[in-house]
């Protein structure tokens, strides 16, 4: 009996212990920042560096202001009002920004500074336009690196994307 507790404890320790070798320590070379935009050289997507509601401050090389908490319809409206082909990204598109850093946000914080400003108390959650099931849409949480779903009336942040 004691042997099974020791084995269970060992397995639990191995399963919950972080493996630092899997951590990404440097910026994503595929992402090229230019002012308020980031271009992904692999996918050809162009991203706004700041969450909707924030603005790029070139003299400070960061986003300033407050991100807006938007329901999904308001996020789509913000994209339409931005003109120039901006849209709420699909889940597959937003997933290209997610990576496993050792500490801090699970997104390239050089390319997307101040992402933690969108942490309204439960992580930095960003909408996708991908339906997970009827009436529920995926979102990505960039502080801890997980994906979940919400109804479209819930308020989250939005990063906008367009094709190059």
In terms of Cα–Cα distance, which of 78, 70, 57 is closest to 118?
Answer: 70
Residue 4, both tokens: 């099974």
Q: Are the C-beta atoms of 44 and 161 separated by less than 8 Å? A: no
pLDDT digits (tens, 9 = 90+) for 78-103: 999 998 999 999 999 999 998 877 88
- Rounded mean pLDDT of the chain? 86
pLDDT at 121 over 80: yes
In this structure, how many other beta carbons lie within 10 angstroms of the beta carbon of residue 163? 9
Nearest to 101 by CA among 2, 3, 26, 44: 26
For residue 33, the model assigns a pLDDT of 94
Could you tell me where the DSSP H helices lie in 83-134? 91-95
The per-residue pLDDT for range 26-47, each reduced to its tens digit, is 666 789 999 999 999 999 999 9
Percentage of the chain modeled with pLDDT above 90? 70
Strand order in the sheet with 146-150: 125-133, 136-141, 146-150
| HEC per residue, 45-86 | EEEECCCCCEEEECCCCEEEECCCCECHHHHHHHHHHHCCCC
Length of the chain: 164
Sequence-distant contacts of 130-136: CB under 8 A, at least 24 apart: 130/90, 130/91, 130/92
pLDDT, residue 74, reads 98
Position 101 scores a pLDDT of: 79
Instruction: Give the pLDDT of residue 122.
Output: 86
Average pLDDT over residues 160-164: 96
State the pTM of this model.
0.82
- Which pLDDT value is given to residue 151? 98
């Amino acid at each position: 009996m004691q042997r099974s507790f020791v084995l269970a404890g060992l397995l639990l320790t191995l399963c919950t212990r972080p493996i630092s070798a899997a951590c990404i320590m440097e910026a994503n070379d595929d992402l090229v920042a230019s002012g308020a935009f980031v271009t992904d050289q692999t996918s050809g997507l162009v991203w706004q560096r700041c969450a909707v509601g924030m603005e790029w401050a070139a003299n400070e090389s960061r986003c300033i202001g407050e991100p807006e908490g938007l329901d999904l319809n308001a996020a789509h409206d913000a994209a339409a009002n931005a003109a120039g082909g901006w849209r709420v990204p699909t889940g597959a598109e937003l997933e290209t920004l997610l990576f496993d850093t050792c500490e801090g946000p699970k997104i390239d914080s050089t390319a997307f500074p101040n992402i933690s400003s969108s942490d309204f108390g439960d992580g930095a959650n960003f909408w996708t336009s991908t339906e997970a099931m009827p009436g529920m849409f995926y979102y990505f949480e960039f502080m801890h690196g997980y994906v979940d779903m919400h109804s479209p009336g819930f308020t989250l942040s939005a990063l906008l994307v367009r094709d190059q």
